[in-house]
Amino acid sequence: MNPSSFISTKRVCSRRQFLRGTGVALALPFLDAMMPAFARDTKVVPPRRVLAVCNNLGLVPEKFFPEQAGRDYALSPYLQELAEHRNEFTVFSGVSHPDVDGGHPADNCFLTAAPHPGSGGFRNTISLDQFAAERIGNLTRFQSLTLGVNVQQGLRSLSWTGTGALIPCEEKPSEVFKRLFLNGTPAQVAEQERKLALGQSIMDAVAGQAKSLQRDVGPRDKERLDQYFTGVRDLEKRMGQAREWERKPKPIVKATMPKDPESPREYMEKARLMYEMARLAFENDSTRLVTLMLDSVNSPAIEVEGTNTTDGYHNLSHHGKSPTKLAQLEMIDREHMKLLATLFGELKTAHEGSDRLLDRTMILYGSNLGNASTHVTTNLPVLFAGGGFKHGQHLLFDRERNYPLPNLFVSMLQRLGIEADKFATSTGTMKGLDLA
């Protein structure tokens, strides 16, 4: 008999097994021994991730957009900063969110595509990251991370819940680092577990009281109660998942806690550190969904390459074709591209199994404004990198009658393994964007 027909009796390590000693619990990496013998020949597919970034003052259009379409396009002045990575990203022209207007308020809709954000009574809709988080967020310690630079707290965010509520941005890289990698004391973990348990018992009690009403209400109220019970069950499930994560040690990294820049003038350093926090979170699979709002509107004169601009970022965007303002704005825009180049390079050198981390990570970089000087919300500057797509191209759509950007969101959701054929005002998947 062929020996391979026998199932190995060798003990299989638990995926949650730790090395313990002197009060330290070190989580083991994924080992072959953690997989049943009969499944060890099965290829383990690493997860996919999304980093979505919005610079709400955009980029000078004529410096960003290439003139030619296709794969042989000549790099624009700004894209020359990304020359070594040109086969890792796709640049789009002629895309926008249908009916998203209103100038600056459109930044809150960059990942929601909710129409008419400047209108009275506007209510936002769910953002791309939160739509995905509802479906895959339970797989990681943090369902998502919502980050920001110089954000007007309470007014701006890229992340919005299904009920249209803003999720506040975390602006301190040190706090992000603490959440990701610093474990609480046993007493702190126990207290957090107590809070979670208390929350579940409260919801059980409320659910029991509400259920008793079903005997005395009409059909419409019964439907509402059914919806309520569904929400209660979902919340209890999330609480149970949160309790499990509280018991697991956080990953250990070589990186040290970053020092928070003190001044909003240190805008670029803040952005660099947030990119670093996103990369570290992805490397350790602490989350698979990160958003970053670069609130340029709320930024003063900023430091670029060791020098200060002479005017606030917002005022520079209204350059009136002043050579002095345009020169400073170009310096800022190029610095944005340099930060992206650094991020792309780091994700290319980091590996997850046999794959580069960049091939597992989709990076969306763009703006809600096609031209900040005139506040137009059409022909948005958009870069899309990584994720295992065929890149190295410029997809040029009609710059007068724009192609819907939400189609890209559908492609991203499907790449995450989420069954979705529509998001917001999409009409399908992104035309011309194929898998590698």
Q: How far apart are CA 243 and CA 231, in angstroms?
A: 18
Mean pLDDT of 340-365: 95
> Does 302 have pLDDT greater than 50?
yes
Reference 49, options 245, 285, 344, 276; nearest CA is 285
Residue 162 burial by CB count (10 A; 0-12/13-18/19+): exposed, middle or buried?
exposed
Residues 6+ apart with CB under 8 A from 334: 78, 81
Taking only the tens place, the pLDDT of each residue in 394-422 is 999 999 999 999 999 999 999 999 999 99
Provide the whole-model pTM: 0.80
| pLDDT of amino acid 308 | 83
Q: Cα dihedral sign for 146, 293, 430, 282?
A: negative
pLDDT at residue 46, rounded to an integer: 80
Mean pLDDT of 181-185: 75
Residue 48 scores a pLDDT above 70:
yes
